[in-house]
Amino acid sequence: MKPSRLPIRWRLTLWYLLSFTAILLLFAGFLYWQVQRSLLAQIDSGLQLAATQALVNVDGDNGRLAFQNLENSPQLGSRLSDDIGIYLLSPQGAVWQKLGHDEEMPQLFPVAGLQTINDKDDRWRVYGEAIDLPEQPGGWLMMVQSLEPVTTTLLALSLQLLWGLPLALLLAGTGGYFLAGRTLRPIDDITRTAQVIHASDLKQRLHHVGPADEVGRLADTFDAMLDRLEAAFIRERRFTGDAAHELRTPLTALKGRIGVTLSQPRQPQQYVDTLQEMEGQVDRLIRLSSDLLFMARLDQGQMAQQWERIDVQDFLGAMVDQIQPLAAAKAIVISQTIPTALTLQGDMDLLIRLFLNLLDNAVKYTPENGRITIHANQDTTDLRITITDTGPGIATEHLPYLFERFYRVETARSRNGTEAGGAGLGLAIAHEIARAHGAQLQVDSQLDQGTTFIIIFPLPKGANLSL
C-alpha cells in the first residue's frame, strides 16, 4: 500500500469525522424511527379508545345500525373534533352512517383491527371492529384518521436533521482539527529540537516537561538514546586518541634511538645492540596493531567462529603448558583443580586468546615466588573457571573500568618496566571474547590481596550434567 501523504493531523481529523458521521447517521435513523413509532402508537390508541366510546352509542334502527343519543356523549364529541371519522358499515361494506370529518375519506372495507390505507396522495390509519348486538342486525364500526399530521411532523424532523447534520459535522471537524493540532504540538516541538542537534554537539537534550504520557515517553526515550550515542561517541574518540598515542610511543622511541645511533660512527656491536632494542619496540608495535585489528574484527562480527566441544581439563592444561616457561622464569607456581569430563562449547582460537590474556596478566603482575591457581566447577546452570593469583591486587576504584580498552592501572610497576607495560587491551579483548560466547568475565580483587578473574559460561539448555 502506498503510504499516505496526508499529515497525521488531517488523517486524525478525517478518521474522527468519519466515525462521527457514522454515529450521527445511526442516531438520526433511530430518532426518526422512534418518533414515527410513537406518533403511530398515539393515533392507534386514540382510534381504539374512540371505538370503545362509540360502541356504547350504537343501536339497531329499522333493520340497520345507527348512533343513538349522541348528545349525551361529550367524550365522543371531542374525539370527533380530533379529525376522526366514524363509520357504521353493513356487513357488505355499505355506509349506514358517518360521523365527523367532512373531508373526502378513503373507501372502507369491513376488516377487523388496525391497518394503514394509502389512498391517492393521502395515508389513513383505520381501525375496524365487528358489531354483534343481541337481536339486532350485524354490522361494522370503522374508525378513520388521516396520517397527514404524522407525515408533516416526520418531514419537518427529517429537514431539521438534514440541516443539523452538516452543521454538527462542520463543528466536529473544526474541533477535531484543533484537538489533533494540540495533541501533536509536543511532537512538533521534539522534531524541531531534534533538527538542531548535530553529531558534533550531542550535548543537547529535549528535557521534556510534562506528563509521562506517550509524548513524554517518546521524549525521554529520545534523550536516553542521545545519552547512549554521546557515550559511544566519547568512547570512540577516546579510543582513537589512545590508539594513536600507543602507536606513537614506540615510534618516537625508535626514532630517538635511530637518531642517537646515527649521530656518530659506532662499533659493529653497538649497531647490533641498537637493532636488538629496536626489534623489541617493533614487536610491541606489531602486537598492538594486531590487537587493534583483532578488536575491530570482533566489533564488526567478522570473526569467523568455529564452535566445537572442548574438554576443559585438556584445554586449560595446554594453556598452562604454554605459559609455564614465563612463570618458571619468575619462580611462580601454577596449580590447577579441574574435574575431569567437563566440557565447553566455543571457538578454540578465541578461547585460547581469552585464557592466555588472563594467564599472561597473572604471571606479568605477580611478583617472584608467587602462586597462580586455576579452578573449574560446574553446577546446574553454569560452568565457572577462576584464575587466582597472589599478585598486588587491584584497587577497588579501578575495577569498574578494568575491561575498557586501553585502561591500565597506572602504577610504576606497569609503566616503567618495558616488559610489563602493555597497551591495556588484553582484558578488553578477553571481555569481548567472553561476551561472544554468551559468557561473563568478572574480576574480584583488593589491593594487596591478589586477584581473581572469573569466567562464567552458561550451560546450554538441556545439557547433560554427567558430560
C-alpha cell at 338: 579441574
Residues 6+ apart with CB under 8 A from 467: 341, 342, 343
- Residue from 361, 366, 378, 445 in contact with Mg ion (CB under 5 A): 361
Pick 126 or 350: Cβ nearer ligand ATP = 350
Kindly write out the interface string for residues 324-363 of this chain, putting x where it contacts ligand ATP by CB under 6 A and - elsewhere.
---------------------------------x---xx-
**Could you give the CA distance from residue 396 to residue 443 in angstroms, rounded to a whole number?**
10
Residue 394 binding result from Mg ion, ligand ATP, none, given CB thresholds of 5 to 8 Å by partner type: ligand ATP
Pick 361 or 390: Cβ nearer Mg ion = 361
Q: What is the separation of C-alpha 285 from the centre of its chain, rounded to a whole number of angstroms?
A: 49
Q: Is 414 in the site for ligand ATP (CB under 6 A)?
A: yes
- Residue from 391, 439, 455, 457 in contact with ligand ATP (CB under 6 A): 391
Q: How many residues bind ligand ATP (CB under 6 A)?
A: 21
Q: Are 112 and 128 in contact (CB under 8 A)?
A: yes
Q: Are 122 and 148 in contact (CB under 8 A)?
A: yes
Q: Are 168 and 196 in contact (CB under 8 A)?
A: no
Q: Is 127 in the site for ligand ATP (CB under 6 A)?
A: no
Which candidate, 140, 78, 80, places its Cα nearest to that of 112?
140
Residue 126 binding result from ligand ATP, Mg ion, none, given CB thresholds of 5 to 8 Å by partner type: none
Pick 361 or 451: Cβ nearer Mg ion = 361
Q: Is 451 in the site for Mg ion (CB under 5 A)?
A: no
Q: Is 422 in the site for Mg ion (CB under 5 A)?
A: yes
Q: How many residues bind Mg ion (CB under 5 A)?
A: 3
How many C-beta neighbours within 10 Å does residue 115 have? 12
- What DSSP designation does 3 have? P
Element (H, E) at 268: helix 268-299
Element (H, E) at 148: helix 148-195
**CA-CA-CA-CA torsion sign (161, 165, 168, 172):** positive
Pick 376 or 394: Cβ nearer ligand ATP = 394
Q: Is 365 in the site for ligand ATP (CB under 6 A)?
A: yes
Q: Is 426 in the site for Mg ion (CB under 5 A)?
A: yes
Residue 365 binding result from Mg ion, ligand ATP, none, given CB thresholds of 5 to 8 Å by partner type: ligand ATP
- What DSSP designation does 443 have? E
Where do contacts with Mg ion occur on this chain (CB under 5 A)? 361, 422, 426
Where do contacts with ligand ATP occur on this chain (CB under 6 A)? 357, 361-362, 365, 389, 391-392, 394, 402, 407-409, 414, 422-428, 451
